[in-house]
């Protein structure tokens, strides 16, 4: 394979600029979906289940898009760009409709559509780095994407503070009384829809993908006997695993009969869906995935079992302890202020992510180990979560989230860098998609298990959920040393 040419910094910037819009959308979702569900009357303990859309759409869509795009090419549109554009359009539509939800079920449904769009666009951006950059420039490519993660989410979280400076009223108007969602949530979603499209169109306009070196991508893949065995094993294993998860969710929401109905239905339906040809391209590499990718599983498992608790409960913990507002009914003013402060905390989280992103490659070079660098940042993040126990003062939450943002910068770059160095170039898309499945499965397990002990072990307390997230980050840090890396 020919060595890829060295790109300028601004070429890398333009290549990743669309990631800014995608992460603006994710930032709005992460900071606002739990409050939106609460505005619409959802029970606090049910919040993790309502976030099911994210991991499920990521688990299904990202590997599919990775596999399909690996075997696609258009002289006009390229390989990854059509999927980025389609995802951006779908996500923008959902963002416009989200703050106009009239019931919990409607907001949950729109969240599925929003996640489908954002996930469809995000995976090709990850593969872009492997496609367009040589080995020496990949750390810079992932660092730029990590910067855009922080910057996009910063803009999303600061919108309730920026819009009043532009003369836009944040006061709840009469036409909003039906669902109670204030302008401080409503307008950022509208702006987000436009931002996604503008940023993605910029990348479409400025970046041309390299054409394939040969026509091998057009040829139908002939599976070896080992690959056929892998397909058969994972076909059944994934169908059974999905059925068990479906049974668990349905059982706890509707009893044994409901659990059996959904479990059996998902078993049959999942098995039939996995028979589609596109899934063979995904299932075959599972048994032959690189050793580094297998070892990264435990790092991702503990990270993504605990991390969703931050998005689900940070704003609720801030409102409850710093503003004396456990819900939107007992203290509506305090709850809105607490939610806004939670958004500011996420903004500081994103700012620190953006700032540290360009230093992470230098830090890793100075330490001399990618895994040790990532473990260090995971420990910093754990300390940030534990800080929430120190005081009820709102500044504690701001300081803690600033420290956690350093960890987020590493999460968005170091695991992908370790993976990109280990996977074959021609399967970059499908392996990046499967790797993002490592994010989704732990979230499923968390959504199924956290409600079981939220009112007992966690004392029905959102702050204790943040402490649990800190414990998970320490376990992820320890798991980094299971990963073998080249000297």
**Residue-level length of the chain:** 487
Q: Spell out the residues 6+ positions from residue 97 whose beta carbon is closer than 8 angstroms to its own.
A: 110
Q: Spell out the residues 6+ positions from residue 265 whose beta carbon is closer than 8 angstroms to its own.
A: 246
Give the tens place of pLDDT for each residue, 463-473: 999 999 999 99
Q: How far is CA 182 from CA 103, 172, 303, 326, in A?
A: 15, 5, 32, 18
Locate all alpha helices (DSSP H) within 274-359, ordered by sequence.
Answer: 277-283, 291-322, 332-357
SS3 content of the chain, % helix, strand, coil (to 5): 80, 0, 20
- The model's pTM is 0.71
**What does the pLDDT average to over 70-90?**
82
Q: How far is CA 34 from CA 41, 48, 158, 174, 339, in A?
A: 11, 9, 17, 23, 10
**What does the pLDDT average to over 420-424?**
75
Tell me the C-alpha distance between 383 and 268, whole Å.
Answer: 45
Tell me the C-alpha distance between 200 and 82, whole Å.
Answer: 11
Structural domains of the chain in order of their starting residue, each with its CATH number = 8-209 (1.20.1250.20), 223-288 (no CATH), 290-486 (1.20.1250.20)
Q: 131-135, 210-214, 306-310, 361-365: which has the minimum mean pLDDT?
A: 210-214
Q: Which helix (H) or strand (E) holds 229?
A: helix 225-254
Higher confidence at residue 45 or residue 334?
Answer: 334
User: Which pLDDT does position 131 carry in this prediction?
Assistant: 77
The rounded mean pLDDT for the chain is 81
Phi, psi values for residue 58, rounded to 5°: -65, -40
**What does the pLDDT average to over 51-75?**
72
Looking at mean pLDDT, say which of 114-123, 361-370, 395-404 comes out highest: 395-404
Quick one: CA dihedral 401, 404, 410, 412, positive or negative? negative
Q: 56-70, 93-107, 136-150, 343-357: which has the minimum mean pLDDT?
A: 56-70
Tell me the C-alpha distance between 372 and 281, whole Å.
Answer: 33
Instruction: Give 125's Cβ-side CA count (13 Å radius).
Output: 35
Give the tens place of pLDDT for each residue, 301-339: 999 999 989 988 888 889 888 888 887 677 878 887 887
Q: How far is CA 42 from CA 45, 176, 261, in A?
A: 9, 18, 25
Burial of 355 (0-12, 13-18, 19+ CB in 10 A): middle
**What does the pLDDT average to over 474-484?**
93
Closest CA to 343 of 10, 29, 133: 29
Confidence grade of residue 44 (pLDDT, cut at 50, 70, 90): low
Q: Which helix (H) or strand (E) holds 45?
A: none
Collapsing DSSP to helix, strand or coil, 78 comes out as strand
Closest CA to 64 of 276, 222, 244: 276
pLDDT above 70: residue 21? yes
Give the tens place of pLDDT for each residue, 263-307: 888 889 888 888 877 777 778 777 778 888 889 999 999 999 999
**What does the pLDDT average to over 105-119?**
83
Tell me the C-alpha distance between 236 and 56, whole Å.
Answer: 18
pLDDT above 70: residue 88? yes
Confidence grade of residue 379 (pLDDT, cut at 50, 70, 90): very high
Closest CA to 28 of 196, 198, 181, 192: 192
Closest CA to 463 of 399, 367, 406, 385: 385
User: Which pLDDT does position 1 carry in this prediction?
Assistant: 46
Higher confidence at residue 44 or residue 152?
Answer: 152
Sequence-distant contacts of 189-194: CB under 8 A, at least 24 apart = 189/28, 189/32, 189/95, 189/96, 189/98, 189/99, 190/95, 190/96, 190/99, 191/159, 192/24, 192/25, 192/28, 192/92, 192/95, 192/156, 193/91, 193/92, 193/93, 193/95, 193/96, 194/92
Q: Spell out the residues 6+ positions from residue 394 whose beta carbon is closer than 8 angstroms to its own.
A: 318, 322, 323, 341
Tell me the C-alpha distance between 305 and 367, whole Å.
Answer: 27
Q: What percent of the chain has pLDDT over 70?
A: 90
**What does the pLDDT average to over 407-434?**
79
pLDDT above 90: residue 375? yes
User: Which pLDDT does position 426 carry in this prediction?
Assistant: 67
User: Which pLDDT does position 46 carry in this prediction?
Assistant: 65
Confidence grade of residue 185 (pLDDT, cut at 50, 70, 90): confident
Quick one: CA dihedral 84, 86, 87, 89, positive or negative? positive
Tell me the C-alpha distance between 336 and 364, whole Å.
Answer: 40
């Amino acid at each position: 394979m020919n060595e890829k040419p060295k790109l300028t910094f601004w070429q890398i910037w333009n290549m990743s600029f669309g990631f800014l819009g995608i992460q603006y959308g994710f930032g709005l979702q992460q900071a606002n979906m739990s409050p939106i569900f609460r505005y619409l009357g959802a029970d606090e303990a049910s919040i993790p289940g309502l976030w099911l859309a994210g991991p499920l759409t990521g688990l299904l869509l990202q590997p599919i898009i990775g596999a399909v795009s690996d075997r696609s090419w258009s002289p006009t549109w390229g390989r990854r760009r059509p999927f980025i554009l389609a995802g951006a359009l779908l996500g923008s539509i959902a963002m416009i409709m989200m703050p106009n939800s009239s019931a919990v079920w409607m907001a949950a449904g729109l969240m599925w559509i929003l996640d489908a769009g954002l996930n469809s666009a995000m995976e090709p951006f990850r593969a872009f780095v492997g496609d367009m950059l040589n080995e020496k420039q990949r750390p810079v490519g992932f660092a730029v994407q990590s910067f855009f993660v922080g910057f996009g989410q910063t803009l999303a979280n600061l919108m309730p503070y920026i819009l009043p400076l532009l003369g836009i009223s944040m006061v709840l108007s009469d036409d909003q009384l039906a669902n109670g969602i204030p302008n401080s949530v409503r307008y950022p979603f509208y702006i987000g829809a436009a931002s996604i499209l503008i940023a993605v169109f910029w990348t479409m306009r400025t970046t041309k993908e390299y054409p394939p070196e040969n026509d091998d991508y057009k040829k139908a893949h002939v599976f070896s006997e080992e690959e056929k065995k892998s397909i058969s094993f994972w076909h059944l294993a994934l169908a059974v695993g999905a059925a068990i998860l479906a049974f668990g969710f349905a059982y706890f929401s509707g009893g044994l009969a409901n659990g059996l109905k959904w479990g059996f239905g998902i078993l049959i339906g999942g098995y039939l869906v996995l028979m589609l040809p596109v899934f063979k391209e995904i299932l075959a590499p599972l048994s032959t995935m690189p050793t580094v990718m297998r070892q990264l599983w435990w790092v991702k498992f503990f990270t993504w079992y605990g991390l969703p608790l931050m998005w689900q409960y940070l704003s609720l913990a801030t409102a409850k302890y710093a503003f004396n507002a456990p819900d939107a009914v007992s203290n509506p003013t305090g709850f809105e202020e607490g939610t806004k402060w939670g958004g500011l905390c996420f903004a500081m989280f994103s700012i620190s992510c953006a700032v540290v992103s360009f230093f992470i490659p230098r830090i890793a070079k100075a330490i001399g180990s990618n895994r040790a660098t990532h473990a260090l940042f995971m420990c910093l993040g754990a300390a940030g979560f534990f800080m929430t126990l120190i005081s009820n003062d709102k500044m504690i939450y701001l300081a803690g989230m600033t420290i956690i943002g350093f960890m987020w910068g590493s999460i968005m770059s170091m695991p992908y860098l370790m993976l990109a160095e280990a996977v074959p170039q021609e399967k970059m898309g499908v392996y990046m998609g499967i790797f993002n499945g490592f994010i989704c499965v732990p979230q499923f397990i968390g959504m199924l298990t956290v409600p079981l002990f939220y009112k007992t072990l966690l004392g029905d307390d959102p702050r204790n959920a943040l402490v649990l997230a800190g414990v998970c980050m320490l376990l992820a840090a320890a798991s980094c040393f299971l990963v073998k890396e080249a000297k």
